[in-house]
A and B are shown apart, each in its own frame.
Chain A
């Protein structure tokens, strides 16, 4: 018989730049072990997941991470008093810090999370990537952090254009000259603050790995993928699982060295000389995780089990050549639902 559990999930923004919430939910709903009630936690009132009642049983609005953890905890206490949440899976980069800081308090409320430690989270930050690469002997592009527009003109000579301009949490643009760097700097910093990371542009094919570490250094699952088509926002529209031993090795090495705890996505560039550069470690499950589920590795289910303290055997295999193709779909809903959410904060 399936076990009844309640899982709260953020990242219901299943838009053209999707959050991982809905794919994570699909993975958990596919589980043969759990009979799950899904509580959606939404920041904005048009996150599509709120209105996807097949996936999300009930949604509550929660305060933005920028408000601080006290407000978040207060709101979660209220939600938990009604829903009795077993596991909470945050899916936004920008909120992870707040949830990691709050994880002890959440556990006292009976809410389990399975997140990286603050140390893991900090050292893999884009701004710290160069040191990260040195420490763990992983190739990374040269990069530096800047804090003001003026810094753009004093960038080290070692940079040659084009360069990548990246935000602390989100957004990455390519710039071919200082003027473009300035434009992207202002655009990104107004949204996500400073620092802005200026990164060497490395030519090659972008490949990704979705992986899950159990916190002891063991890799529970890892599936490599190449994006087959990329939208103008840089998001994969279609992707295919790869048989690439080097990528898996790099993933295992990273997880072992950092004792990574939780879901992650490695963004890599494979150069024409067959070298792999680590561009970024996203400290959470990526939006394309359902490809891994489809290929035989249910990472969301495994993460829920790890959060609940269960011992999970590593996945040893996945199906190569599985593809995902994203599509969009127009949900029809009534203004009454929008009204209810806007006035009560619940739906």
Chain B
């Protein structure tokens, strides 16, 4: 008997006049059957669906690409891995192996960095919330404390005097770089002279060493130019410090905020086309520093806390089709097992969602819902997809940033995370949760132990 033909759900689609049709998008949907040579099907069979996948290969090559872009243009470059973007130990350690320091914004993250083997001197402590205990630890361990507000400055002065240890501090500076919105809520303002004022106070303190200057101008900055503006403003301050106090700051930290290749909701063009390259960011920043008033022999180290742009591409979430539904208006909807609680970036990205198996080029405009029993659980409002059937798999790309830290255990348990190593071997780097994961921290008051008694 001859082999039977591959079946695809029968589809009829209205020819839209004056709108995109299948030729508009067909090539977007080459299936993703493998990640780093490991079959998607096999990953799901072994580790369940949904499943987060992290590519070590992509982390390393992206890191090296960024490092090359800056280090070929500037003599001293140091990366600091932004823990909040993805603080899975395995992920952090790949960055640390590549040479990254740690950039943390809480006592919890600070301890996580220490536990990953980073020495205190290589931890940058950022953010508005550093409690006394964390500050004490950071001062003792000679960490780089980036001061966010006056209250913190005075806490540090007190603690440092008490401990009789010199605290190594930098200040976070906000400024007008020509972009909107301006992140004025963090740090001290450059343009109204506040930052200069703080620097003067620090320089008068015996137990504080002004070691660096820091700015983090925003997130998802689609242009390299504002970084040039920020770099030259920080360099101006550094030059003023040199002139007035004869003191040279050791580093200038431009923070993070580089865009990844995701397409923002509301954007017309694809993020893969509009996202500036690492070289463009590097050119803007390094040329501003080199051109500045700082004497060449005192050029400070350049620190970057790039998070999103380093990890987004390395992360995937694999999912499965739960059901297809036809809406009353004829529009097709598809429910998958990935909800917004595991992919909250779907609130602002048009995530790239690709079938994991081959298909014909017939496609339909589809709305993708997550599995939560919640009206807001929408992964894509419009996507052109071929017909998929229950149990088919999809690959959601570029989700490595924030989704594995800002995820929520809600309605269902959080799934496993695997990392595919350089040799194409998959390792579980975080086990899937069980009922016990959720229950272990719960406590039941005595009078509620027996539900049959009142």
- Chain B contacts for A147, CB-based, 8 A: 180
**A169 CB-CB contact with B under 8 Å:** yes
Complex CA gap A192/B266 in Å reads 8
Q: Which of B11-19, B304-312, B365-373 contacts A (4 or more CB under 8 A)?
A: B11-19
**B57 CB-CB contact with A under 8 Å:** no
Complex CA gap A338/B15 in Å reads 10
**A230 CB-CB contact with B under 8 Å:** no
User: Binary interface profile of B, 270-296, with partner A (CB < 8 Å = 1, else 0)?
Assistant: 101110000000000000000000000
Asked whether, in the complex, the Cβ of B19 is within 8 Å of the Cβ of A192, the reply is no
Asked whether, in the complex, the Cβ of B27 is within 8 Å of the Cβ of A71, the reply is yes
From B15, B18, B28, B266, A67 is in contact (CB under 8 Å) with: B28
- Chain A contacts for B19, CB-based, 8 A: 44
Complex CA gap A169/B25 in Å reads 21
Complex CA gap A338/B28 in Å reads 24
- Residues A98 and B18 in contact in the complex (CB < 8 Å), given A62-B23, A67-B25, A71-B25: no
Asked whether, in the complex, the Cβ of A63 is within 8 Å of the Cβ of B273, the reply is no
Q: Which residue of A has the minimal Cβ distance to B20?
A: A64
- Chain B contacts for A168, CB-based, 8 A: 268
Asked whether, in the complex, the Cβ of A97 is within 8 Å of the Cβ of B273, the reply is yes
**A45 CB-CB contact with B under 8 Å:** yes
Of A70, A94, A168, A192, which is in contact with the most chain B CB atoms at under 10 Å from its CB?
A70
Complex CA gap A193/B17 in Å reads 22
Complex CA gap A192/B268 in Å reads 6
- Chain A contacts for B327, CB-based, 8 A: none
Asked whether, in the complex, the Cβ of A69 is within 8 Å of the Cβ of B23, the reply is no
Asked whether, in the complex, the Cβ of B18 is within 8 Å of the Cβ of A66, the reply is no
Q: Which residue of B has the minimal Cβ distance to A194?
A: B266
**A345 CB-CB contact with B under 8 Å:** yes
Complex CA gap A255/B272 in Å reads 31
Asked whether, in the complex, the Cβ of A75 is within 8 Å of the Cβ of B180, the reply is no
B window 243-275: CB within 8 A of A:
266-270, 272-274
Asked whether, in the complex, the Cβ of A44 is within 8 Å of the Cβ of B18, the reply is yes
- Chain B contacts for A43, CB-based, 8 A: 20, 24
**A218 CB-CB contact with B under 8 Å:** no
Complex CA gap A118/B329 in Å reads 43
Asked whether, in the complex, the Cβ of A193 is within 8 Å of the Cβ of B268, the reply is yes
**A143 CB-CB contact with B under 8 Å:** no
Asked whether, in the complex, the Cβ of A97 is within 8 Å of the Cβ of B272, the reply is no
Complex CA gap A71/B352 in Å reads 14
**B21 CB-CB contact with A under 8 Å:** yes
A window 187-239: CB within 8 A of B:
189, 192-194
Asked whether, in the complex, the Cβ of A63 is within 8 Å of the Cβ of B272, the reply is no
- Chain A contacts for B28, CB-based, 8 A: 63, 67-68, 71
Q: Which residue of A has the minimal Cβ distance to B280?
A: A118
- Chain A contacts for B17, CB-based, 8 A: 44-46
B window 1-56: CB within 8 A of A:
15, 17-28
Complex CA gap A193/B28 in Å reads 21
Asked whether, in the complex, the Cβ of B27 is within 8 Å of the Cβ of A61, the reply is no
**A4 CB-CB contact with B under 8 Å:** no
Complex CA gap A189/B329 in Å reads 25
Please tell me the number of chain B residues within 8 Å of chain A, measured between CB atoms: 23
- Chain B contacts for A74, CB-based, 8 A: 27
**A53 CB-CB contact with B under 8 Å:** no
Please tell me the number of chain A residues within 8 Å of chain B, measured between CB atoms: 33
**A145 CB-CB contact with B under 8 Å:** yes
Shortest distance in angstroms between A187's beta carbon and chain B's nearest beta carbon?
A: 14
User: Binary interface profile of A, 86-117, with partner B (CB < 8 Å = 1, else 0)?
Assistant: 00000000100110010000000000000000
Shortest distance in angstroms between B349's beta carbon and chain A's nearest beta carbon?
A: 14
Shortest distance in angstroms between A276's beta carbon and chain B's nearest beta carbon?
A: 27
Q: Which residue of B has the minimal Cβ distance to A118?
A: B280
**A162 CB-CB contact with B under 8 Å:** no
Asked whether, in the complex, the Cβ of A145 is within 8 Å of the Cβ of B180, the reply is yes
- Residues A66 and B270 in contact in the complex (CB < 8 Å), given A45-B17, A46-B17, A71-B27: yes
- Chain B contacts for A75, CB-based, 8 A: 23, 27
Complex CA gap A145/B20 in Å reads 29
**A141 CB-CB contact with B under 8 Å:** no
Asked whether, in the complex, the Cβ of B25 is within 8 Å of the Cβ of A63, the reply is yes
User: Binary interface profile of A, 54-81, with partner B (CB < 8 Å = 1, else 0)?
Assistant: 0000000111111111110011000000
Q: Which residue of A has the minimal Cβ distance to B264?
A: A193
- Chain B contacts for A61, CB-based, 8 A: 21, 23-24
**A160 CB-CB contact with B under 8 Å:** no
A window 319-347: CB within 8 A of B:
338, 342, 345
Complex CA gap A189/B26 in Å reads 26
Complex CA gap A192/B441 in Å reads 49
Shortest distance in angstroms between B110's beta carbon and chain A's nearest beta carbon?
A: 35
Asked whether, in the complex, the Cβ of A70 is within 8 Å of the Cβ of B15, the reply is no
Asked whether, in the complex, the Cβ of B270 is within 8 Å of the Cβ of A169, the reply is no
- Chain B contacts for A63, CB-based, 8 A: 23-28
Shortest distance in angstroms between B315's beta carbon and chain A's nearest beta carbon?
A: 20
- Chain B contacts for A44, CB-based, 8 A: 17-20
Shortest distance in angstroms between A347's beta carbon and chain B's nearest beta carbon?
A: 12
- Chain A contacts for B266, CB-based, 8 A: 189, 193-194
From A62, A69, A192, B272 is in contact (CB under 8 Å) with: A69
Asked whether, in the complex, the Cβ of A64 is within 8 Å of the Cβ of B24, the reply is yes
Asked whether, in the complex, the Cβ of A342 is within 8 Å of the Cβ of B15, the reply is yes
From A46, A97, A145, B269 is in contact (CB under 8 Å) with: A97
- Chain A contacts for B24, CB-based, 8 A: 43, 61, 63-64, 67
Complex CA gap A101/B269 in Å reads 12
Asked whether, in the complex, the Cβ of B23 is within 8 Å of the Cβ of A65, the reply is no
- Residues A97 and B27 in contact in the complex (CB < 8 Å), given A44-B19, A45-B15, A46-B17: no
Asked whether, in the complex, the Cβ of B15 is within 8 Å of the Cβ of A69, the reply is no
Complex CA gap A203/B390 in Å reads 61
Asked whether, in the complex, the Cβ of A66 is within 8 Å of the Cβ of B268, the reply is yes
Complex CA gap A63/B27 in Å reads 9
Asked whether, in the complex, the Cβ of A69 is within 8 Å of the Cβ of B273, the reply is yes
- Chain A contacts for B21, CB-based, 8 A: 45, 61, 342
- Residues A70 and B23 in contact in the complex (CB < 8 Å), given A145-B180, A193-B266: no
Complex CA gap A189/B270 in Å reads 16
- Chain A contacts for B26, CB-based, 8 A: 63
Complex CA gap A264/B25 in Å reads 30
- Residues A94 and B268 in contact in the complex (CB < 8 Å), given A69-B273, A342-B15: yes
Asked whether, in the complex, the Cβ of B269 is within 8 Å of the Cβ of A70, the reply is no
A-B contact pairs, 8 of them (CB 8 A): A44-B20, A45-B15, A61-B21, A61-B24, A64-B24, A67-B28, A69-B270, A97-B273
Residue ranges of A at the interface with B (Cβ–Cβ < 8 Å): 43-46, 61-71, 74-75, 94, 97-98, 101, 122, 145, 147, 168-169, 189, 192-194, 338, 342, 345
Known A63-B27, A65-B268, A74-B27; further 11 A-B contacts with Cβ < 8 A: A44-B17, A44-B19, A63-B25, A64-B24, A68-B272, A70-B272, A71-B28, A75-B27, A94-B269, A98-B273, A189-B266
